[in-house]
A and B are shown apart, each in its own frame.
Chain A
Amino acid sequence: DQQVKQNSPSLSVQEGRISILNCDYTNSMFDYFLWYKKYPAEGPTFLISISSIKDKNEDGRFTVFLNKSAKHLSLHIVPSQPGDSAVYFCAAAVPRRVQGAQKLVFGQGTRLTINP
């Protein structure tokens, strides 16, 4: 049972335009969401996160939107740059117990290609 789904395996966007990556989840207990970016032959790197008490979080060119009623989050990249070409994973976490581990559930990933 895939609790976190990224239904688009790939996305191609022209440089300078907006890239929108989508993620859906099924577990209403998730209270924290993250986006990771991964280049080939490297580990995933943290990009941006959002708590379930917010509906938007912005960091430079990256904005994450959360729609709790639809159990949907999206990552917007504006403007898109060639260096943004990578695989993007969304991840979700359930509330930690006191001093518990932050265990993440990941989506399958979306490969973003920015065309010059």
Chain B
Amino acid sequence: DAGITQSPRYKITETGRQVTLMCHQTWSHSYMFWYRQDLGHGLRLIYYSAAADITDKGEVPDGYVVSRSKTENFPLTLESATRSQTSVYFCASSVGNTIYFGEGSWLTVV
């Protein structure tokens, strides 16, 4: 049972580059989420999706773009990476009241 897989797990990129973090789930959950984790802030919601082709902004959406052409995939794109986007990114999906997280993608913007 693979659950949620994220790729890449680790990435270093330069300021201004476009970066896409991939997320794939095998559970067929309708809802998917992207969170970022930063020291002192816990996890903050970037974007979420209720189903294929339905996405909505979370708490900190600026600088990010998402798409959901298939239920199982929910990629997150940083169109022009900035140093403030250095973070750990977690993809998640939910069933009922519980959200299940992937293992995370560590992104460093230099």
A44 lies within 8 A of B43 (CB):
yes
Interface residues, chain B, CB within 8 Å of chain A? Answer: 4, 31, 33, 35, 40-45, 48, 50, 56, 58, 90, 92, 94, 96-104
Closest to B103 in A: A43
A91 contacts across to B, CB distance below 8 A: 43
Count A/B pairs, Cβ under 8 Å.
61
- Counting contact residues on chain A (CB < 8 A from B), the size range is 20 to 34
A41 lies within 8 A of B41 (CB):
no
Closest to B50 in A: A101
A106 lies within 8 A of B94 (CB):
no
User: Min CB distance, A48 to chain B, in Å?
Assistant: 10
A109 lies within 8 A of B42 (CB):
yes
B99 lies within 8 A of A43 (CB):
no
B58 lies within 8 A of A34 (CB):
no
Q: Which of A4, A44, A102, A107 contacts B94 (CB 8 A)?
A: A102
User: Min CB distance, A42 to chain B, in Å?
Assistant: 6
B101 lies within 8 A of A102 (CB):
no
A103 and B48 in contact (CB under 8 A), knowing A42-B103, A43-B102? yes
B42 lies within 8 A of A108 (CB):
yes
Q: Which of A41, A89, A93 contacts B42 (CB 8 A)?
A: A89
